Amino acid sequence: MSDGILSKAATMEIPISSNGDTSSLPEDDGLEQDLQQVMVSGPNLNETSIVSGGYGGTAEGIIPTGTIKGPGLHPPPPGPPSGGEEVVRGIAVEKFDIVKKWGINTYKCTKQLLSERFGRGSRTVDLELETQIELLRETKRKYESVLHLARALTAHLYSLVQTQHALGDAFADLSQKSPELQEEFGYNAETQKLLCKNGETLLGAVNFFVSSINTLVNKTMEDTLMTVKQYETARLEYDAYRTDLEELSMGPRDAGAVSRLDAAQSQFQSHKDKYEKLRADVAIKLKFLEENKAKEPPWPAMSPPARWCGRLTSSS
């Protein structure tokens, strides 16, 4: 029935006057009755259903819209923060505390360093230890110079040995191709081979020396100097907190000042323990270097070969 109505409505011609007035349209009682019947028999909009399963879905996915009330929709109340949020908040607070402590410590150390540079602050000095540290730095610079020269000697010795080896092969080849000078060329070939052999022995000894000096300079001494740097940083922090404690001790003694004084005393004691521990570590490592000075590898003493050069005889 509805198809017939739609086809009838689609094929109707609606005349429009020149001014767009539709009051002169002809009345069609049959069409009006059909439209009224469609409106009466059509679906009720208040009972429309939503199919969640899509086209051809089962009846289990149908949700009646009559049960959904627009004004009654409210978001669920916020629950307590989850465990993950508490962990993130705790990490953020911890990082903030670390940055805060770092900033305060940096400020105090910078203030102490500037005071020492301009001669307005006192500095803790261990004369014996400072002398040993300066001697170690000077020794390290000298050994670095020796290491640089030894590496250059190794490169030159390697080139010399390669040249002697090639020269010995050339003399041996000439002794085979020149029967009249076979004895002289053979003698020089043997001489160059002997030089090459002794050169390789010397090169091996120099390589061992370079390796030992490199270990001493870039590992043993460098490790001691890293501890020295930590000791110097601890000394600066110790003096900075000592100065801070002295300034608070000279101030008024109200309730707030007493609490700050107690906190400064605790921090000073902590940095004092750290300073004394690193000072003992530096002293032990310097003593270790001094005791092992006699164990450093000596420069290799190589005896010269019996014949350092041969004789060349030209044909007359």
Asked if pLDDT for residue 183 goes beyond 80, the answer is yes
The values of phi and psi at residue 49, to 5°, are: -110, 155
Alpha-carbon gap, residue 260 to 198, rounded angstroms: 75
For 64, phi then psi, to 5°, come to -65, 130
> Strand pairing partners for 49?
64
Rounded-to-5 percentages of helix, strand, coil across the chain: 70, 0, 25
Q: What is the pLDDT of residue 37?
A: 53
CATH dotted code for 127-295 = 1.20.1270.60
Q: Residue 147 pLDDT > 90, yes or no? A: yes
- Quick one: pLDDT band at residue 75, thresholds 50, 70, 90? low
The helix or strand, by DSSP H or E, that contains position 213, with its residue range, turns out to be helix 182-215
Alpha-carbon distance 169 to 6, whole Å?
A: 111
Q: Per residue in 267-280, pLDDT tens?
A: 899 999 999 999 99
Q: Is the pLDDT of residue 302 over 60?
A: no
- Residue 292: exposed, middle, or buried by beta-carbon count in 10 A (0-12, 13-18, 19+)? exposed
| Residue range 225-232: mean pLDDT, rounded | 95
